[in-house]
Amino acid sequence: MLGLLGGEGGTRRTLEKIGNATLQEDRKAALVELKERAEKDPIGVASMSMGLLTSLIPKVRDDVDEVRAILDTMLACLSPEASVHGEEKCKESLSTNSKLYPQDVISQLLELLEERDWNARFSILRILHVLQEVHPAVVQQGTLSSPQGLARLMDVLSDEREIVRNEALLVLVALTEGSQELTKIMAFEGAFDVLFRVVKEEDFGSVIAADSIEIVNNLLHANPSNANFFKEMSCVAEHVVPLLRKGIEFGSTGRTSNTRCLFDQMLDVLGNLLTATSDLQSMQTHLGKSGVLGIVVEGALHPSMGYESRGKALRLTSLLVWKHSPNRLLLSQLLCPGKSGSVLSALLKLCLELHPEEGDKSVHLLNASAVQVFKCYLSGNVDGQQHFAASLMPQPPMDDQEPQEEQQLGRVVMAALLGSSPEGGGGGDVRTTRVWGAAHVLMSVLLGNSVCQEIAAATPLELPMSSAPPDYFLQSLLQES
């Protein structure tokens, strides 16, 4: 009998107090008592009280203290203290009690977000976040069935209390994964402007900023309507371009770790725009006119951005110029910031160089990504191929050599293939990387272009010094192979 009064029986008596109370203070005291019981016996209390608690919410909405007590009890049942119950008991509580939260309860909780009380808001968001771990689809459907559910969640992003806003971001990150319907509604509810406002209000590179951009990427991923809406709302020029510039700016001042993370996320935004859109040419044109190509290439060439970030920027450059004549022309005209050399010369250097950290796989990935840029730039680009082929010529005598950054592209490729690069011989890995990169670039110049093939076939191995018939470049390569 004593066990019954202290356990299940005690919980039943507490629930009777709540249901039969005629005075608000008595009900409030009983709710606090129920919360304390839930902290000790989360599974038992949840199984007996969830129906009463959810039916009570509409009746007590005007009393913040009662709402708090109900929400705290619900949270204690779902997520008990691991230090008190142990990890296994906590997992059991979540698995068992999460089944007591159907879609209508989710909708009811979202309605309560209208309350400004920080404790109530935080508890609601924690409940949603915990439920998402085991039943994400139920939370998504409950949100969809709530008329103002998404709007209220987004309103919480304007909450000045950091702990509340952070929890709302975590809920939205999980909520926007894999639900096309939700992401469309969020986009048209103004989510892009709200999220980028949060990013700009935060310290650049903070976790909050990163979570906000992750939600943006979730909204764009494989979603053509959201990608086109993003374009029409001028989000690229207004938000993406300034953040990319900041990423490069801060990357050069030592703030690298978090800055790279957010810079990479902005590249992901652009990548999602290009892969999600139903009209690739139109999106490429829009991004080119918005100044994206120049900034992305600048990041790719910036040594402080790290190999993985630079490789991602190079792969995005490939997408921007793939079968797009205006962007190809723009790339051919770009100059390196603060230098006289062309961007194409700097990109060719990336194809041929082996960087110091030879054991790092990302170094070779950088070479491959730079080669991919040339493949996408030259494929089907007759003018670009012929301009490149016209610069195929042997190295001049040493006294007449130009500085390498000013050398014509074809001459650099020939030197790399023939082992006469101005950089010197280098070790086996250096030589292999140089020849590999040069061979792929030359193949892209010649592929499908008979004029370029004829030019290459007629290119002498050396500048003629006598009337004797010259040896030819391609012939020499074939003999070496």
On whether residue 295 sits in a domain, the answer given is yes
* Range in 6-20, 76-90, 96-110, 349-363 with the lowest mean pLDDT: 349-363
Tokens encoding 39:
């902290």
Per the structure block, which two tokens stand in for 305? Answer: 């951005």
Mean pLDDT of the chain: 89
Judge whether 404 lies within some domain.
Answer: no
pLDDT class for 3, splitting at 50, 70, 90?
Answer: very low
Q: Is residue 218 part of a domain?
A: yes
Q: For 61-113, where are the alpha helices, taking DSSP H only?
A: 64-78, 82-85, 87-97, 103-112
Q: What is the pLDDT of residue 141?
A: 95
Residue in 43, 50, 49 with CA at minimum distance from that of residue 15: 49
Task: Evaluate whether residue 444 is within a structural domain.
Answer: no
Q: Is residue 99 part of a domain?
A: no
Residue 261 belongs to a domain: yes
Looking at the domain assignment, is residue 125 inside a domain? no
Residue 181 domain boundaries: 176-334
Among the listed ranges 94-98, 117-121, 261-265, 327-331, which one has the minimum average pLDDT value? Answer: 261-265
* Total domains in the fold of the chain: 1
Q: Which amino acid is at 109?
A: L
Report, as an integer, the average pLDDT of 398-414: 71
For residue 2, what pLDDT is reported?
36
> pTM (2 decimals)?
0.90
Nearest to 320 by CA among 330, 311, 310: 330
- pLDDT given for residue 400 in this prediction: 52
CATH of the domain at 250: 1.25.10.10
Among the listed residues 385, 429, 387, 394, the one whose alpha carbon sits nearest the alpha carbon of residue 412: 394
28-66 pLDDT, tens digit per residue, is 999 999 999 999 999 999 999 999 999 999 999 999 999
pLDDT at 82 (0 to 100): 72
Percent of the chain with pLDDT strictly greater than 70: 89
* Mean pLDDT on 110-124: 95
User: Within 13 Å of residue 158, how many CA atoms lie on the same side as its CB?
Assistant: 11
Residue 451 resides in a domain: no
Question: For the chain, how big is the Rg over CA atoms in Å?
Answer: 31
Question: Looking at residues 250-275, what average pLDDT do you find?
Answer: 80
Predicted pLDDT of residue 420: 62
Within 10 angstroms of residue 422's Cβ, the number of other Cβ atoms is 14
